[in-house]
């Protein structure tokens, strides 16, 4: 396996911080349907990666739900 060196003048990112991912879930309808189930699965998969700093913005009515299923993520209720 060969190591690839970036072109001259291009640096590599070696930041030890986890990438911050913000998901806007404010448009999930009350009748969750397919979109809601898809988003729940996506958020669960993202939260399972300890190398991702996950934040979710949601409707006030969904705040408790997302806080419960994403205990290690930041859940923000939109105004």
Residue 5 has pLDDT above 80, yes or no: no
Considering the domain boundaries, does residue 11 fall inside one?
no
Q: Give percent above pLDDT 70 in the chain.
A: 84
pTM: 0.75
Enumerate residues 6+ apart whose C-beta is below 8 A from 6. 12
Number of domains in the chain: 1
Cα dihedral 49, 50, 52, 57 in deg (nearest 10): 80
72 within some domain: yes
What residues form DSSP beta bridges with 53? Answer: 20
Residue 59 has pLDDT above 60, yes or no: yes
Q: Is residue 32 part of a domain?
A: yes
Q: Which residue has the higher pLDDT, 8 or 38?
A: 38
67: left (phi over 0), alpha (psi -120 to 50) or beta: alpha
Domain membership of residue 15 (yes or no) is no
How distant is the alpha carbon of residue 3 from its chain centre? 31
For residue 56, the enclosing domain spans 20-77
Q: What is the pLDDT of residues 6-35, one digit of tens each?
A: 677 666 666 678 899 999 999 999 888 999
- Asked whether the predicted pLDDT for residue 1 surpasses 60, the reply is no
């Amino acid at each position: 396996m060969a190591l690839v060196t970036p072109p001259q003048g291009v640096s590599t990112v070696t930041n030890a911080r986890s990438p911050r991912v913000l998901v806007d879930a404010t448009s999930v309808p009350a009748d969750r349907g397919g979109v809601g189930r898809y988003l729940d699965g996506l958020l669960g998969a993202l939260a399972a990666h300890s190398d991702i700093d996950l934040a979710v913005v949601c409707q006030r009515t969904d705040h408790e739900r997302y806080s419960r299923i994403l205990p290690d993520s930041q859940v923000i209720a939109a105004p």
